[in-house]
Amino acid sequence: MAHHIDINCDMGESFGKYTKGRDAEVMPYVTTANIAGGYHAGDPHVMRRTVALADDHDVDVGVHPGLPDKLGFGRRTMDASPEEVRDYVIYQLGALRAFADQLGVPFQHVKPHGAMYTMLSESEEHARAVIEGILEVDEDLIYLATDMNIYEVAQEYPIRTAFEGYVDLDYRSDRSVVIPKEKTARDPELVADRFISIATEGVVETPSGEQLDIPAESICVHGDTPNVVEILEEIHDRLDDTDVELTSVADIV
Protein backbone atom coordinates (compact mmCIF):
# COMPACT_ATOMS: atom_id res chain seq x y z
CA MET A 1 0.00 0.00 0.00
CA ALA A 2 1.38 3.38 -1.03
CA HIS A 3 2.08 6.15 1.47
CA HIS A 4 0.78 9.54 0.33
CA ILE A 5 2.49 12.79 1.33
CA ASP A 6 2.48 16.42 0.24
CA ILE A 7 5.60 18.62 -0.05
CA ASN A 8 4.97 22.26 0.78
CA CYS A 9 7.35 25.19 0.48
CA ASP A 10 7.20 28.83 1.62
CA MET A 11 7.54 31.02 -1.46
CA GLY A 12 7.06 34.51 -2.82
CA GLU A 13 9.20 35.98 -0.04
CA SER A 14 11.09 38.41 -2.27
CA PHE A 15 10.06 42.05 -2.55
CA GLY A 16 11.31 45.12 -4.41
CA LYS A 17 14.99 44.63 -5.17
CA TYR A 18 15.32 42.01 -2.42
CA THR A 19 15.43 38.38 -3.57
CA LYS A 20 14.89 35.50 -1.15
CA GLY A 21 14.67 31.83 -2.04
CA ARG A 22 14.99 29.98 -5.35
CA ASP A 23 11.31 29.75 -6.26
CA ALA A 24 11.71 29.04 -9.98
CA GLU A 25 14.14 26.18 -9.29
CA VAL A 26 12.16 24.74 -6.38
CA MET A 27 8.65 24.85 -7.85
CA PRO A 28 9.02 21.74 -10.08
CA TYR A 29 9.77 19.58 -7.02
CA VAL A 30 6.88 20.51 -4.69
CA THR A 31 3.13 19.99 -4.62
CA THR A 32 2.05 22.97 -2.48
CA ALA A 33 3.19 26.61 -2.44
CA ASN A 34 2.65 28.79 0.64
CA ILE A 35 2.90 32.30 -0.81
CA ALA A 36 3.71 35.34 1.36
CA GLY A 37 0.90 37.87 1.55
CA GLY A 38 2.93 41.07 1.68
CA TYR A 39 3.32 41.53 5.45
CA HIS A 40 6.46 39.67 6.49
CA ALA A 41 7.62 39.44 2.88
CA GLY A 42 6.37 39.65 -0.69
CA ASP A 43 4.83 42.48 -2.69
CA PRO A 44 1.95 42.60 -5.20
CA HIS A 45 4.18 41.89 -8.20
CA VAL A 46 5.95 38.97 -6.51
CA MET A 47 2.59 37.61 -5.33
CA ARG A 48 1.16 37.63 -8.87
CA ARG A 49 4.29 36.12 -10.41
CA THR A 50 4.52 33.38 -7.79
CA VAL A 51 0.88 32.36 -8.25
CA ALA A 52 1.48 32.20 -12.02
CA LEU A 53 4.66 30.15 -11.52
CA ALA A 54 2.81 27.68 -9.31
CA ASP A 55 0.07 27.37 -11.91
CA ASP A 56 2.67 26.63 -14.61
CA HIS A 57 3.85 23.63 -12.56
CA ASP A 58 0.41 22.44 -11.34
CA VAL A 59 1.36 23.30 -7.76
CA ASP A 60 -1.44 24.05 -5.27
CA VAL A 61 -1.60 27.63 -3.98
CA GLY A 62 -2.29 29.04 -0.52
CA VAL A 63 -1.34 32.03 1.58
CA HIS A 64 1.53 32.23 4.08
CA PRO A 65 0.40 35.14 6.30
CA GLY A 66 2.76 36.75 8.76
CA LEU A 67 2.91 39.66 11.15
CA PRO A 68 3.44 43.15 9.64
CA ASP A 69 7.21 43.04 10.16
CA LYS A 70 9.28 43.04 6.97
CA LEU A 71 12.34 44.33 8.77
CA GLY A 72 12.33 41.29 11.04
CA PHE A 73 10.96 38.90 8.40
CA GLY A 74 7.93 38.26 10.60
CA ARG A 75 9.99 36.50 13.24
CA ARG A 76 9.88 39.14 15.98
CA THR A 77 7.41 39.04 18.83
CA MET A 78 4.57 41.53 18.51
CA ASP A 79 1.86 42.55 20.97
CA ALA A 80 -1.30 41.99 18.92
CA SER A 81 -4.77 41.03 20.08
CA PRO A 82 -6.59 37.94 18.76
CA GLU A 83 -8.83 40.21 16.67
CA GLU A 84 -5.83 42.03 15.18
CA VAL A 85 -4.10 38.79 14.23
CA ARG A 86 -7.33 37.48 12.70
CA ASP A 87 -7.57 40.65 10.60
CA TYR A 88 -3.94 40.33 9.49
CA VAL A 89 -4.66 36.82 8.22
CA ILE A 90 -7.90 37.73 6.44
CA TYR A 91 -6.26 40.77 4.81
CA GLN A 92 -3.39 38.73 3.36
CA LEU A 93 -5.69 35.86 2.41
CA GLY A 94 -7.88 38.26 0.45
CA ALA A 95 -4.96 39.92 -1.29
CA LEU A 96 -3.38 36.70 -2.51
CA ARG A 97 -6.72 35.15 -3.38
CA ALA A 98 -7.47 38.11 -5.65
CA PHE A 99 -4.38 37.28 -7.73
CA ALA A 100 -5.38 33.61 -7.81
CA ASP A 101 -8.87 34.58 -8.98
CA GLN A 102 -7.42 36.91 -11.61
CA LEU A 103 -5.28 34.08 -13.02
CA GLY A 104 -7.98 31.42 -12.67
CA VAL A 105 -5.95 29.46 -10.10
CA PRO A 106 -7.76 27.52 -7.34
CA PHE A 107 -7.00 28.82 -3.85
CA GLN A 108 -6.45 25.99 -1.39
CA HIS A 109 -5.05 26.76 2.07
CA VAL A 110 -3.67 28.96 4.84
CA LYS A 111 -0.36 28.38 6.65
CA PRO A 112 0.77 30.96 9.25
CA HIS A 113 4.39 32.14 9.27
CA GLY A 114 7.09 32.70 11.87
CA ALA A 115 6.20 34.60 15.02
CA MET A 116 2.54 34.48 14.07
CA TYR A 117 2.41 30.70 14.24
CA THR A 118 4.33 30.79 17.55
CA MET A 119 1.69 33.17 18.86
CA LEU A 120 -1.11 30.85 17.72
CA SER A 121 0.62 27.88 19.31
CA GLU A 122 1.04 29.62 22.66
CA SER A 123 -2.37 31.33 22.81
CA GLU A 124 -5.52 29.29 22.24
CA GLU A 125 -7.51 32.53 22.06
CA HIS A 126 -5.40 33.77 19.13
CA ALA A 127 -5.57 30.36 17.43
CA ARG A 128 -9.36 30.27 17.68
CA ALA A 129 -9.73 33.82 16.36
CA VAL A 130 -7.70 32.98 13.25
CA ILE A 131 -9.49 29.69 12.55
CA GLU A 132 -12.89 31.31 12.99
CA GLY A 133 -11.84 34.15 10.68
CA ILE A 134 -10.75 31.71 7.96
CA LEU A 135 -14.05 29.83 8.22
CA GLU A 136 -15.99 33.07 7.87
CA VAL A 137 -14.18 33.74 4.58
CA ASP A 138 -14.31 30.23 3.09
CA GLU A 139 -15.17 27.07 5.01
CA ASP A 140 -13.59 24.90 2.30
CA LEU A 141 -10.06 26.19 2.86
CA ILE A 142 -7.44 23.85 4.35
CA TYR A 143 -5.46 24.90 7.42
CA LEU A 144 -1.83 23.77 7.53
CA ALA A 145 -1.12 23.35 11.25
CA THR A 146 2.49 23.97 12.10
CA ASP A 147 2.45 22.26 15.48
CA MET A 148 0.30 19.95 17.62
CA ASN A 149 -1.14 22.72 19.82
CA ILE A 150 -2.67 24.47 16.82
CA TYR A 151 -3.68 21.17 15.26
CA GLU A 152 -5.62 20.09 18.35
CA VAL A 153 -7.50 23.40 18.54
CA ALA A 154 -8.36 23.14 14.84
CA GLN A 155 -9.86 19.67 15.42
CA GLU A 156 -12.70 21.37 17.33
CA TYR A 157 -13.79 23.26 14.20
CA PRO A 158 -15.29 22.17 10.87
CA ILE A 159 -12.09 23.09 9.03
CA ARG A 160 -9.99 20.67 7.00
CA THR A 161 -6.65 20.52 8.76
CA ALA A 162 -3.32 19.02 7.73
CA PHE A 163 -0.50 18.47 10.20
CA GLU A 164 2.88 19.60 8.94
CA GLY A 165 6.27 17.98 9.48
CA TYR A 166 9.75 19.42 9.06
CA VAL A 167 12.82 17.71 7.67
CA ASP A 168 15.36 20.49 7.10
CA LEU A 169 15.04 21.78 10.67
CA ASP A 170 15.88 19.95 13.88
CA TYR A 171 13.20 18.98 16.42
CA ARG A 172 13.45 19.41 20.17
CA SER A 173 12.10 16.70 22.44
CA ASP A 174 8.81 18.62 22.89
CA ARG A 175 8.25 18.51 19.09
CA SER A 176 9.03 22.21 18.65
CA VAL A 177 11.56 23.05 15.94
CA VAL A 178 14.82 24.95 16.17
CA ILE A 179 14.69 28.07 13.96
CA PRO A 180 18.25 29.19 13.15
CA LYS A 181 19.00 32.91 12.80
CA GLU A 182 20.69 32.16 9.49
CA LYS A 183 19.97 29.22 7.21
CA THR A 184 22.90 26.97 6.38
CA ALA A 185 23.20 24.06 3.97
CA ARG A 186 21.82 20.75 5.26
CA ASP A 187 22.94 17.22 4.48
CA PRO A 188 20.63 16.10 1.63
CA GLU A 189 20.86 12.43 2.65
CA LEU A 190 19.92 13.19 6.27
CA VAL A 191 16.99 15.36 5.16
CA ALA A 192 15.82 12.67 2.74
CA ASP A 193 16.08 10.05 5.51
CA ARG A 194 13.82 12.19 7.68
CA PHE A 195 11.38 12.71 4.82
CA ILE A 196 10.97 9.00 4.17
CA SER A 197 10.75 8.25 7.91
CA ILE A 198 7.91 10.73 8.43
CA ALA A 199 6.13 9.71 5.24
CA THR A 200 6.23 5.97 5.95
CA GLU A 201 6.34 5.66 9.75
CA GLY A 202 5.19 9.04 11.08
CA VAL A 203 8.35 9.41 13.16
CA VAL A 204 11.49 11.53 13.09
CA GLU A 205 14.74 11.29 15.02
CA THR A 206 16.06 14.29 16.95
CA PRO A 207 19.79 15.16 16.92
CA SER A 208 20.00 13.46 20.34
CA GLY A 209 18.56 10.21 18.94
CA GLU A 210 15.06 10.50 20.41
CA GLN A 211 12.19 9.20 18.26
CA LEU A 212 9.23 11.60 17.96
CA ASP A 213 5.77 10.94 16.54
CA ILE A 214 5.13 13.33 13.63
CA PRO A 215 1.85 12.24 12.00
CA ALA A 216 2.21 14.59 9.06
CA GLU A 217 0.12 14.79 5.90
CA SER A 218 2.40 17.52 4.51
CA ILE A 219 6.15 18.03 4.85
CA CYS A 220 7.76 21.47 4.59
CA VAL A 221 11.05 21.97 2.75
CA HIS A 222 12.25 25.55 3.13
CA GLY A 223 13.06 27.35 -0.10
CA ASP A 224 15.71 29.59 1.50
CA THR A 225 17.95 26.72 2.59
CA PRO A 226 21.11 27.34 0.51
CA ASN A 227 21.18 23.85 -1.04
CA VAL A 228 17.40 23.34 -1.22
CA VAL A 229 17.44 22.12 -4.83
CA GLU A 230 20.00 19.44 -4.02
CA ILE A 231 17.86 18.40 -1.03
CA LEU A 232 14.73 18.12 -3.17
CA GLU A 233 16.60 16.17 -5.83
CA GLU A 234 17.73 13.67 -3.19
CA ILE A 235 14.18 13.35 -1.85
CA HIS A 236 12.82 12.67 -5.33
CA ASP A 237 15.56 10.11 -5.97
CA ARG A 238 14.48 8.29 -2.80
CA LEU A 239 10.84 8.30 -3.90
CA ASP A 240 11.79 6.18 -6.90
CA ASP A 241 12.88 3.40 -4.53
CA THR A 242 9.95 3.55 -2.08
CA ASP A 243 6.17 3.26 -2.01
CA VAL A 244 5.83 6.96 -1.15
CA GLU A 245 3.75 8.99 -3.59
CA LEU A 246 3.55 12.77 -3.72
CA THR A 247 -0.09 13.78 -3.45
CA SER A 248 -1.96 17.06 -3.16
CA VAL A 249 -2.77 17.73 0.47
CA ALA A 250 -6.39 18.32 -0.63
CA ASP A 251 -6.57 14.66 -1.61
CA ILE A 252 -5.14 13.51 1.74
CA VAL A 253 -7.30 15.46 4.18
The pLDDT of 141-168, averaged and rounded, is 96
Q: What percent of the chain has pLDDT over 90?
A: 92
**Whether the predicted pLDDT of 114 surpasses 80:** yes
For position 1, what pLDDT does the model report?
74
88 and 39 in contact (C-beta within 8 Å)?
Answer: yes
Nearest to 41 by CA among 59, 21, 61: 21
| 3-class secondary-structure state, position 143 | strand
5 and 217 in contact (C-beta within 8 Å)?
Answer: yes
Burial level of 139, CB count in 10 A (0-12/13-18/19+)?
Answer: exposed
For position 180, what pLDDT does the model report?
84
Q: Over the stretch 195-238, which tens digit does the pLDDT of each residue have?
A: 999 999 999 999 999 999 999 999 999 999 999 999 999 999 99
Distance from C-alpha of 4 to C-alpha of 143, rounded to nearest angstrom: 18
What stretches of the chain show up as alpha helix (H) in DSSP? 23-26, 44-56, 82-103, 114-122, 124-137, 148-154, 188-201, 228-239
Looking at residue 31, its amino acid is T
Distance from C-alpha of 55 to C-alpha of 61, rounded to nearest angstrom: 8
Helix (H) or strand (E) holding 203: strand 203-205
For position 80, what pLDDT does the model report?
97
For position 174, what pLDDT does the model report?
86
Q: What percent of the chain has pLDDT over 70?
A: 100
Q: How confident is the model at residue 159 (pLDDT cuts 50, 70, 90)?
A: very high
What range does the domain containing 232 cover?
3-251
Our count of domains for the chain comes to 1
For position 181, what pLDDT does the model report?
79
Q: Over the stretch 57-105, which tens digit does the pLDDT of each residue have?
A: 999 999 999 999 999 999 999 999 999 999 999 999 999 999 999 999 9
Count how many Cα atoms sit within 13 Å of the Cα of residue 121 in the half-sphere of its side chain: 18
**What CATH number corresponds to the domain at position 230?**
3.20.20.370
Mean pLDDT, rounded, of the chain: 96
Q: Over the stretch 18-29, which tens digit does the pLDDT of each residue have?
A: 999 999 999 999
Which residues are 145's β-sheet partners?
A: 163
